[in-house]
C-alpha cells in the first residue's frame, strides 16, 4: 500500500498524518503502520473487512483494561473500512531488545503478565475445540512436510499429533493469547510489558503461551534456562503446579504451537508467496524436534528426513 493511501486511511480515523512507516504484516492479514505528524504518533492497523474485523481485539482490550492489565489503547475504530487507530507503544519489542544481560528480567516480567492474562475475567471468548487444535497440527504434516518439502511420513506423525492432543486435553485450560512471543511483547515507557495482537485469544491449554515466550522461534531452546523460568512461574502461582508439571505442559504446548506455525508459514508462502518468515523455519523445526519426548522414538527419523531438505528448499527460494 502506498504512503498516500495509508495517509488517506488515517484521515478516516480522524487523524491527519504527515509521515508513514510500515511496521509489520501478520499471518492473519493485518497490516500495521506508524502514522505521525509534528505532535502525535499512532499505530494504524488495517484488516480487509471482507476477511475479518477488529471487534474481538476491542472486546478483549476492554476486558484486559477492566482487569487492570496492560493492553493497547484503541483511539479510534472504523469498522466499515477495517481500521483501528491505536496508541504507539514504541519499538521496544522483546525480539529487538532482549539480550543476555536483560533476558532473565524481561522473561520474568513477561511471565508475570502471562499469569495475569491467564487468570483474568475475559468476557465472551470461546474455547478452542479439540478439532481446531488437531487440524492446526495437521498443517505440519499436510502443508509443511507434504506440500512444501514433498515428504511423505509414516504414521509416526499421526501418532505424535494424537499423543500431543491427548496430553493437551488433560492440562489446565486458561485464557490463551495464542501468539505470546517476543514480537508481540513491548517494553512500555513504565518499564513493564504490554502484550499486543491478542485478538485470537481463547480458552486453551496453559502450555501454548508458555512455549511462545520460553521457546523462541529465533534461538535454540536452552533447557536450563527454561527450567529456571518454570521455577519462577511455579513460585509466582504459589506452587499450584510444580516445575516438572509445568515442563510437561510446556512440552506439549510447544509441539502444538511449532507444528501449527511451521504449517501456517509455509502455507502463506505457497498460497500468497510470502517469503518474509521462511528464514525462521529451521529454528522453529529444530526447537520442535528438541521438545519431542525421547520415548516417542521419532526424533532421529524426522530429523534425518527434514533438516537438510528444509535448508536446501529455503536456499532455492
Domain shared by 167 and 208, yes or no: yes
Among 254, 217, 9, which residue's Cα sits nearest to residue 98?
Answer: 217
Q: Which of 30, 54, 87 is the last residue of a domain?
A: 87
Residue ending a domain, choose from 33, 58, 87: 87
**Residues 53 and 184 reside in one and the same domain:** no
Q: Are residues 80 and 177 in the same domain?
A: no
Same domain, 142 and 262: yes
The answer to whether the CB of 160 falls within 8 A of the CB of 296 is: yes
Query: Looking at the structure, do residues 165 and 204 belong to the same domain, yes or no?
Result: yes
Pair 154, 66 in one domain: no
| Spatial CA neighbour of 37 closest among 59, 61, 21, 55 | 21
Using DSSP, state whether 190 is helix, strand or coil.
coil
Q: In whole angstroms, what is the distance from residue 12 CA to residue 3 CA?
A: 15
Whether residues 81 and 105 fall in one domain: no
- In the prediction, which pLDDT does 227 show? 97
Long-range contacts of 15-22 (CB under 8 A, 24+ apart): 15/40, 15/42, 15/75, 15/76, 15/85, 17/44
Tell whether 280 and 263 lie within a shared domain: yes
Same domain, 75 and 190: no
Assign residue 180 the CATH number of its domain: 3.90.1200.10
How far apart CA 133 and CA 135 sit, in angstroms, is 6
Structural domain that includes position 67: 3-87
Q: Residue 28's pLDDT band (boundaries 50, 70, 90)?
A: confident
Look up cell 529444530; give the residue: 286
**198, 114 contact by CB (below 8 A):** no
Q: Which of 28, 12, 125 is nearest to 77 (CA)?
A: 12
Decide if 173 contacts 127 (C-beta within 8 A).
yes
Give the pLDDT confidence of 226-245 residue by residue, as tens digits.
Answer: 999 999 999 999 999 999 99
The answer to whether 38 and 18 have CB atoms below 8 angstroms apart is yes
Of the candidates 87, 109, 129, which is a domain's last residue?
A: 87
Here the cell at position 16 is 491527519
Please state the rounded mean pLDDT for residues 43-60. Answer: 96
Tell me the three state secondary structure of residue 32: strand
pLDDT score recorded for residue 288: 98
The 10s digit of each residue's pLDDT in 156-202 is 999 999 999 999 999 999 999 999 999 999 999 899 999 999 999 99
Strands 185-187 and 74-78: unpaired
Same domain (yes/no): 78, 214: no
From the number of C-beta atoms within 10 Å of its C-beta (0-12, 13-18, 19+), residue 16 rates as: exposed
**Residue 127 sits in the same domain as residue 9:** no
Instruction: Kindly report the number of other CB atoms within 10 A of residue 46's CB atom.
Output: 21
Number of domains in the chain: 2
Query: Bridge-partner residues for 19, per DSSP?
Result: 36
Provide the strand spans (E) within 10-139: 19-25, 31-36, 41-46, 74-78, 83-87
The Cβ of residue 222 has, within 10 Å, a number of other Cβ atoms equal to: 15
Kindly tell me if the per-residue pLDDT of 92 is higher than 80: yes
**Mode of pairing for the β-strands spanning 74-78 and 83-87:** antiparallel
The sign of the torsion formed by the CA atoms of 201, 104, 102, 262 equals negative
The rounded percent of the chain whose pLDDT value lies above 90 is 92
Q: pLDDT digits over 130-166, tens only?
A: 999 999 999 999 999 999 999 998 899 999 999 999 9
Amino acid at each position: 500500500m502506498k504512503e498516500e493511501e495509508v495517509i488517506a486511511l488515517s484521515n478516516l480515523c480522524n487523524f491527519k498524518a504527515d509521515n508513514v512507516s510500515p511496521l509489520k504484516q501478520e499471518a492473519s492479514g493485518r497490516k500495521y503502520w506508524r502514522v505521525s505528524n509534528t505532535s502525535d504518533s499512532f499505530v494504524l492497523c488495517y484488516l480487509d473487512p471482507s476477511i475479518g474485523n477488529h471487534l474481538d481485539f476491542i472486546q478483549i482490550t476492554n476486558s484486559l483494561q477492566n482487569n487492570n492489565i496492560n493492553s493497547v489503547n484503541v483511539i479510534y475504530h472504523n469498522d466499515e473500512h477495517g481500521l483501528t487507530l491505536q496508541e504507539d507503544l514504541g519499538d521496544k519489542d522483546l525480539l529487538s531488545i532482549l539480550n543476555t544481560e536483560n533476558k532473565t528480567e524481561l522473561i520474568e516480567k513477561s511471565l508475570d503478565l502471562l499469569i495475569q492474562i491467564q487468570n483474568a475475567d475475559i468476557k465472551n471468548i470461546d474455547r478452542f475445540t479439540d478439532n481446531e487444535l488437531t487440524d492446526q497440527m495437521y498443517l505440519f504434516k499436510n502443508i509443511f512436510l507434504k506440500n512444501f518439502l514433498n515428504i511423505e511420513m509414516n504414521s509416526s506423525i499421526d501418532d505424535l499429533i494424537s499423543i500431543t492432543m491427548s496430553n493437551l486435553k488433560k492440562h489446565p485450560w486458561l485464557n490463551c493469547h495464542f501468539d505470546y512471543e517476543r514480537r508481540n511483547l513491548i517494553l512500555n515507557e513504565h518499564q513493564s510489558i504490554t502484550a499486543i495482537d491478542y485478538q485470537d485469544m481463547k480458552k486453551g491449554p496453559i502450555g501454548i503461551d508458555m512455549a511462545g515466550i520460553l521457546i523462541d522461534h529465533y534461538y535454540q531452546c536452552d533447557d536450563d534456562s527454561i527450567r529456571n523460568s518454570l521455577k519462577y512461574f511455579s513460585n509466582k502461582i504459589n506452587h499450584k503446579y510444580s516445575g516438572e508439571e509445568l515442563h510437561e505442559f510446556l512440552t506439549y504446548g510447544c509441539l502444538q504451537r511449532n507444528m501449527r506455525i511451521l504449517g501456517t508459514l509455509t502455507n502463506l508462502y505457497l498460497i500468497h508467496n510470502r517469503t518474509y518468515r521462511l528464514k525462521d523455519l529451521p529454528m522453529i523445526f529444530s526447537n520442535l524436534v528438541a521438545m519431542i519426548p525421547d520415548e516417542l522414538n521419532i526424533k532421529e527419523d524426522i530429523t534425518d528426513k527434514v533438516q537438510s531438505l528444509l535448508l536446501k528448499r529455503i536456499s532455492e527460494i
